[in-house]
């Protein structure tokens, strides 16, 4: 049984190919201005890695903000549904999946079978999504990948109006003028973002285990702030970026299985 | 030939200062000042016996106490006045605790209410103050006291700072955005994103689809006006209605808010003739409070 999952995010397209529910290939591309093309490229690359041809794929399921950009997909699944499936696949004990992408964030409550029970979404404010960290890294003039380790060096956070990306940008500029340590500014940014995300999670209640996925899960600074804020351990899969695609591929496998019978 | 490439700063608005012609502070009994340190603009007003004497409006720098000092000094430039001549100074605005020479700090909500009452008179009931980093809808009584208010200071949507970001993106000088946005024959659908960061992305997308800059600007301003109107409607809009703060100059916003609410704001008085500037409403209110506080101290 071979299936594929495509997650067409606002920033990246992720593709995963599963063979008997094991990941055999994964690939990603920047969505850019032509997400359709990016999706096609990512898909071809994944096929090459898996040494498969398109005909070998029994079912393709697409998800993500740009789900319409993959009309050739056999089915689609909501981002929340894909998150729940992937969370339970990575960690059978998962009951809450937090997915933070470039422009949106979700908290999904699920049962032991990876079926979604409830969810909360923020797609209206950039302060709770990956874009926030990117904008702040630019304002601080540090590499995005260095933001996390920088923040871990701080013992306290700078005072900052971090409820809004636009306001935080001007605040960061003034803090730099005041020669405030960059480490403390970085910490303030992650703390503020963790505050946003945790308020979303708390609306569902703390249901352990909590799994963090999405590109931001790779950021050690954010993970540390979120753990502090939620006061609990957080599980992170090896490839958090691919969670949506894995979830979609799992759903594709299930659909293909049904069709066979 | 030497060519110099310079990034134009479309958000940069004009700073200004002036003295009321024909006024002489030496003849006044009480000289007071109000300094309103906003997140984007710092405004200072000097009053002689409770009447407009001089004022300044300048950009707030990274240090708010410096900005407060500079704004007050600029308002007193070439007048012979020094801080020592001022009987009482009230600081207001988000940086009000950082006005070093102030005798007292008063919230900008109270000051805007007082200022609006002074500029337009006792009939004003609703004040929309659109500052750099916040929007306030204030209900006031006939004496200029605050009855109730609502404020958004958590999000750049609908604020002056949000407008600056879009002006910069579209490369339209901030002083002209209002006029330019009204050049479209009909308002397009407002941008769907509330968040300025997302609205920026949406605007880029619309430009790529072939929308004109004017049309994109109109779509953004419509969304901004809707957001402000929601705040006013929540607090309850009662006549007379006025707009203060930096965005009171933005006719694109003013026009759309009036259209949505179905109510016209009271006209803006001539700055040259009266010295009354809706942008400085907070500083005017602060200077008036300063006079009252000084008189109260004298009576003791």
What confidence tens digit (pLDDT) does each residue in A99-131 have? 999 998 999 999 999 999 999 998 889 988 999
* Same domain, residue pair A158 and A206: yes
Does residue B11 have a pLDDT over 50? Answer: yes
Which option is the CATH number for B125-261: 3.50.50.60, 3.40.50.720, 3.40.30.10, 3.30.420.40?
Answer: 3.30.420.40
Residue B197 to residue A167, Cβ atoms within 8 A: no
For residue B7, name the pLDDT band (cuts at 50, 70, 90): low
* Same domain, residue pair A225 and A111: yes
CB-based contacts of B42: which residues, under 8 Å, 6+ apart? B35, B36, B57, B58, B59, B60, B64, B67, B68, B70, B71, B93, B95
Does residue B125 have a pLDDT over 80? Answer: yes
B16-116+271-299 against B125-261: fold identical: yes
Q: From the list B133, B161, B194, which residue is nearest A124 (CB)?
A: B194
For residue B84, name the pLDDT band (cuts at 50, 70, 90): very high
Q: The domain spanning residue A260 has which CATH number? A: 3.30.420.40
Does residue B228 have a pLDDT over 90? Answer: yes
For residue B161, name the pLDDT band (cuts at 50, 70, 90): very high
What per-residue confidence (pLDDT) applies to A25? Answer: 97
* Same domain, residue pair A82 and A139: no
Is it true that the peptide bond before B240 is cis, omega within 30 degrees of 0? yes
Using beta carbons and an 8 Å cutoff, which residues of A are at the interface with B?
A: 33, 103, 124-126, 131, 135, 161, 163-167, 170, 173-174, 177-178
* Same domain, residue pair A199 and A107: yes
The two beta strands, B41-48 and A116-122, are unpaired
Q: Minimal Cα–Cα distance from B165 to chain A, Å?
A: 8
Rounded to an integer, the average pLDDT of B124-139 is 96
CA distances, A261 to each of A60, A254, A256, B125 (Å): 18, 11, 9, 72
- Nearest chain B residue to A11, by CA: B201
Q: Minimal Cα–Cα distance from B122 to chain A, Å?
A: 35
- Partners of A138 on chain B (C-beta within 8 Å) are none
Structural domain including A172 reads 93-236
Does residue B1 have a pLDDT over 70? Answer: no
**Structure token pair of residue B132:** 């750099």
Does residue A261 have a pLDDT over 70? Answer: no
CB-based contacts of B72: which residues, under 8 Å, 6+ apart? B33, B35, B44, B46, B56, B83, B89, B101
Mean pLDDT, chain A, whole residue set: 93
Rounded to an integer, the average pLDDT of A172-183 is 87
Which option is the CATH number for B16-116+271-299: 3.40.50.720, 3.40.50.2300, 3.20.20.30, 3.30.420.40?
Answer: 3.30.420.40
Q: Minimal Cα–Cα distance from A93 to chain B, Å?
A: 35
Does residue A166 have a pLDDT over 80? Answer: yes
> Is there a contact between A10 and A65 (Cβ–Cβ < 8 Å)?
yes
Q: Which of B61, B197, B203, B223 to mutate to test the interface with A (most CBs of A within 10 A)?
A: B197
* Same domain, residue pair A186 and A110: yes
What per-residue confidence (pLDDT) applies to B269? Answer: 95
Residue B195 to residue A163, Cβ atoms within 8 A: no
Question: How many whole angstroms separate alpha carbon A144 and alpha carbon B132?
Answer: 28
The domain limits of chain B are 16-116+271-299, 125-261
- Partners of B208 on chain A (C-beta within 8 Å) are 33
- Partners of A135 on chain B (C-beta within 8 Å) are 197
pLDDT, tens digit (0-9, with 9 covering 90-100), for A197-231? 999 999 999 999 999 999 999 999 999 999 999 99
Q: From the list A33, A125, A174, which residue is nearest B155 (CB)?
A: A125
> Is there a contact between B206 and B190 (Cβ–Cβ < 8 Å)?
no
* Same domain, residue pair A214 and A167: yes
Mean pLDDT, chain B, whole residue set: 93
Q: Which of A126, A158, A168, A173 to mutate to test the interface with B (most CBs of B within 10 A)?
A: A126
* Same domain, residue pair A163 and A207: yes
* Same domain, residue pair A52 and A179: no
Percent of chain B with pLDDT over 90: 85
What per-residue confidence (pLDDT) applies to B3? Answer: 45
What per-residue confidence (pLDDT) applies to B4? Answer: 46
Question: Does the predicted interface ipTM exceed a cut of 0.85?
Answer: no
Residue B195 to residue A173, Cβ atoms within 8 A: no
Number of domains chain A is built from:
2
């Amino acid at each position: 049984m071979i299936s594929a999952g495509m997650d067409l995010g606002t920033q990246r397209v992720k593709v995963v190919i599963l063979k008997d529910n094991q990941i055999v290939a994964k690939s990603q591309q920047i969505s850019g201005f032509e997400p359709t093309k990016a999706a096609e490229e990512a898909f071809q690359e994944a096929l090459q890695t898996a040494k498969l041809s398109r005909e070998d794929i029994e079912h393709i399921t697409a998800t993500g903000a740009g789900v319409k950009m993959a009309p050739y997909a056999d089915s689609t699944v909501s981002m929340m549904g894909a998150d729940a499936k992937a969370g339970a696949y990575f960690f059978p004990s998962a009951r809450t999946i937090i997915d933070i992408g470039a422009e949106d964030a979700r908290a999904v409550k699920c049962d032991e079978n990876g079926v979604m029970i409830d969810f909360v979404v923020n797609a209206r404010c950039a302060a709770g999504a990956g874009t926030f960290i990117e904008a702040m890294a630019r304002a601080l003039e540090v590499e995005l990948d260095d933001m996390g380790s920088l923040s871990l060096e701080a013992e306290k956070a700078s005072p900052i109006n971090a409820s809004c990306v636009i306001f935080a940008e001007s605040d960061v500029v003034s803090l730099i003028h005041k020669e405030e340590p960059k480490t403390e500014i970085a910490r303030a940014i992650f703390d503020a973002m963790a505050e946003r995300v945790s308020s979303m999670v708390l609306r569902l209640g703390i249901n352990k285990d909590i799994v963090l996925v999405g590109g931001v899960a790779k950021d050690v600074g954010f993970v540390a702030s979120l753990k502090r804020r939620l006061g609990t351990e957080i599980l992170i899969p090896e490839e958090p970026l691919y969670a949506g695609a894995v979830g979609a591929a799992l759903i594709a496998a299930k659909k293909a299985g049904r069709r066979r019978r | 030939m030497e060519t110099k490439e310079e990034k134009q700063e479309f958000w940069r608005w004009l700073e200004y200062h002036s003295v009321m012609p024909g006024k002489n502070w030496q003849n006044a009994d009480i000289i007071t000042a109000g300094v309103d340190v906003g997140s984007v603009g710092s405004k200072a007003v000097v009053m002689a016996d409770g009447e407009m004497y001089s004022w300044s409006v300048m950009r707030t720098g990274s240090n708010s106490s410096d900005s407060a000092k500079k704004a007050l000094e600029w308002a007193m430039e070439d007048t012979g006045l020094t801080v020592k001549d001022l009987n009482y100074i009230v600081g207001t605005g988000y940086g009000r605790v950082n006005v070093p020479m102030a005798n007292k700090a008063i919230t900008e909500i109270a000051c805007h209410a007082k200022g609006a009452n002074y500029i337009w008179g006792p009939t004003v009931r609703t004040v929309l103050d659109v500052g750099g980093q916040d929007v306030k809808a204030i209900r006031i009584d006939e004496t200029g006291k605050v009855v109730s208010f609502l404020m958004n200071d958590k999000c750049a949507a609908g604020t002056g700072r949000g407008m600056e970001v879009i002006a910069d993106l579209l490369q339209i000088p901030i002083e002209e955005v209002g006029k330019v946005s009204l050049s479209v024959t009909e308002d397009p659908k407002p941008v769907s994103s509330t968040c300025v960061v997302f609205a920026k992305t949406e605007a880029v997308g619309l430009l790529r689809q072939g929308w004109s800059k004017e049309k994109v600007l109109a779509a953004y301003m419509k969304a901004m006006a809707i957001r402000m109107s929601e705040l006013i409607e929540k607090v309850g809009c009662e006549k007379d209605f006025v707009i203060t703060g930096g965005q009171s100059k933005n006719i694109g916003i003013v026009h759309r808010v009036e259209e949505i609410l179905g109510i016209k704001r009271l006209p803006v008085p001539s700055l040259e003739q009266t010295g009354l500037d809706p942008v400085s409403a907070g500083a005017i209110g602060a200077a008036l409070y300063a006079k009252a506080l000084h008189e109260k101290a004298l009576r003791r």
